[in-house]
Amino acid sequence: MTSPFPQHRDMVMGHYSTAAWMRTFVLAMSDDAGEQVDLADFRYLDHEHARAAVEMLDAYRDNPHAPGFASLVEACRQRRREEQAAAIRDRALEAWLPLVTRALRQRGLYAGMAEDKYAWFAVRFDAGDTPEQAAQRAQDDNLQAYLG
């Protein structure tokens, strides 16, 4: 019989809320300190996900040191780190944008440009521009002319 951990990996690593619950479920089986899963949510799983969770739990109980389990746990940990880094980045970007709006106003530019051209400014944020540098670049690139 094949290990359910690699068999259900795509289901666990998906980009949807049930997959996030499945990752927490896998991490709770591991020795990650403090990781808990609300088993009351189990009743909301569709049959496919519920079956996968039970299969993984049974396999874990039989062999908690299975390579497939360890690999899946590491993938879940990596996803968790990526999600945490993305959340930190998003909070920093959201704090940065009002400063860009102020810098745009100071240059006599349309202050709503930071919202209207959110993706453009997010690229500038990721490049490490200060709010003033981003506003200057928007002015230099005549970004305001492309609104509307």
DSSP 45: S
Q: Taking the domains of the chain in order of start, what are their residue ranges?
A: 4-83, 86-146
Contact 29, 60 (CB under 8 A): yes
pLDDT of amino acid 33: 64
Question: Would you give the end-to-end CA distance of the chain in angstroms?
Answer: 60
DSSP 71: H
Give which of 7, 13, 5 is closest to 64, Cα–Cα: 5
Mean pLDDT, to the nearest integer, of 37-55? 94
CA-angle at 83, arms to 9 and 28, nearest 5°: 55
Cite the DSSP H helix spans in the chain: 4-7, 9-12, 17-29, 47-62, 67-106, 113-116, 118-126, 131-140
Tokens describing residue 94: 């959201």
pLDDT in tens, 55-110: 999 999 999 999 999 999 999 999 999 999 999 999 999 999 999 999 999 999 99
**HSE-CB of 41 using CA atoms within 13 angstroms:** 13
On whether the pTM is more than 0.95, the answer is no
pLDDT of amino acid 35: 84
Give every CB contact of residue 87 below 8 A, 6+ residues apart in sequence.
none
CA distance 148 to 145: 8
pLDDT of amino acid 144: 85
- Percent of the chain, pLDDT > 90? 89
pLDDT of amino acid 148: 61
